[in-house]
Amino acid sequence: MKTNKYVIYWLFLGCALIFIMVLVGGITRLTHSGLSMSDYKLISGTLPPMNELEWQEAFDLYKQYPEYQKLNYHFTLDDFKSIYFWEWFHRVIGRFIGIVFIVPFVFFLITKKLDRPTIKKCLILLFMGGFQGFLGWYMVKSGLVDRPDVSHYRLAAHLTTAFLTFAYSFWVALDLIYPSKKEINKGIRNLLQIGLFILIVQIVWGAFVAGLDAGFIHNHWPLMSEGKLIHETVYIEQQPFLKNFIEGKSGVQFIHRYLAYIVVSIVIFLWYKTRKIKRTALQDTGINALLVLVGLQFLLGVFTLIYAVPLWLGLAHQIGAFFLLAAMTFTLHRFTK
């Protein structure tokens, strides 16, 4: 079956929408807006409150939960409206992505524009998208019980699934654009696979840092605390000891910092190794993009930390991770048999 260019456009549109959703999700997190919508209504929740009565009802519902009672008890209705917008917008984009995926998918099925392998891949994407929506509400629920914050584990699952859904959508689109692949250097491919895995782990720990607000401490670089050795600042906050590195603020920041060094080292080593082999133009583009983006992302991470996570730098750092994942996915695809 000849590849339909509109299927490729559709997949790239999905990638763009996921990017926008992650961007808005970052704003939602950094503005502490994620718990403003205390219920979930799939259909009626598409529209925001349309009059003062509906706004007051939504505000009264918000008052029943820990974030208002323990943190935002001073909020007025106008304050509530300002945080409500970003969570509402984030959910609307999620619904829109679902429509954009499902409706064209059914159309392409009916018109036989998809071959069997692509149908299977699209069904995986459908599951990933639905699971992502479930994780979003599952995350919000964790902040409506007894503490005015969401579980950093659920936040990490929600964010990482969004990144993986984007990467897989991008991969499926690349499969259609470049249906035939040539034999390549297996060592480079394996190194790229390791790099992709570590980058995903780094994204998980970045979500841990965000979920625990761990970017607001140790705002120095290269040491974690001014005038102290790095190991002296990783405080023992939990027992057993290893729990510090998944639940302690110092510990998760420590892991996130050192994973960054590992990701940078792998990309530099990749660039060095590929200088010695014959490369296609696209492979060269991918490797060079990785080198530029990993350097930019590292700098963004340092400045985000030093300046204690201002909104624009926090967003820029999250966007940098998104583009770095895209470059890693593209480069791995070009080096895959």
Q: Where are the domains of the chain?
A: 1-180, 183-337
Closest CA to 126 of 144, 149, 142, 103: 103
- Residue 58: both structure tokens together: 């939504």
Q: CB of 79 within 8 A of CB of 59? A: no
Q: 10-residue block means of pLDDT along the chain (337 residues)?
A: 79 96 92 85 77 92 92 92 92 92 94 92 94 91 86 95 97 90 81 97 96 92 65 52 88 96 97 91 95 97 95 94 97 89
Closest CA to 91 of 14, 169, 24: 24
pLDDT at 40 (0 to 100): 75
Alpha-carbon distances, residue 64 vs 28, 57, 68, 78, 101 (angstroms): 21, 11, 7, 18, 36
Start-to-end C-alpha separation, the chain: 21
pLDDT in tens, 273-298: 999 888 889 999 999 999 999 999 99
pLDDT at 148 (0 to 100): 82
The torsion defined by the Cα of 41, 43, 46 and 51, in degrees rounded to 10, comes to: -80
Identify residue 166 by its one-letter amino acid code.
F
The torsion defined by the Cα of 135, 140, 144 and 148, in degrees rounded to 10, comes to: 130
The alpha carbon dihedral of 195, 200, 205, 207 has a sign of positive
Q: How many angstroms separate the CA atoms of 112 and 128, rounded? A: 23
pLDDT at 337 (0 to 100): 66
pLDDT at 25 (0 to 100): 92
Task: Give 334's contacts (C-beta < 8 A, 6+ positions apart).
Answer: 178, 280, 282, 283, 286
Q: How many angstroms separate the CA atoms of 196 and 87, rounded? A: 30
Q: How many angstroms separate the CA atoms of 45 and 22, rounded? A: 20
Q: Report pTM.
A: 0.91
Closest CA to 326 of 289, 280, 271: 289
Q: How many angstroms separate the CA atoms of 119 and 147, rounded? A: 43
pLDDT at 235 (0 to 100): 53
Cis peptide before 222 (omega within 30 of 0): yes
Identify residue 76 by its one-letter amino acid code.
T
- Residue 216: both structure tokens together: 């607001």
DSSP structure class, residue 324: H
pLDDT at 241 (0 to 100): 78
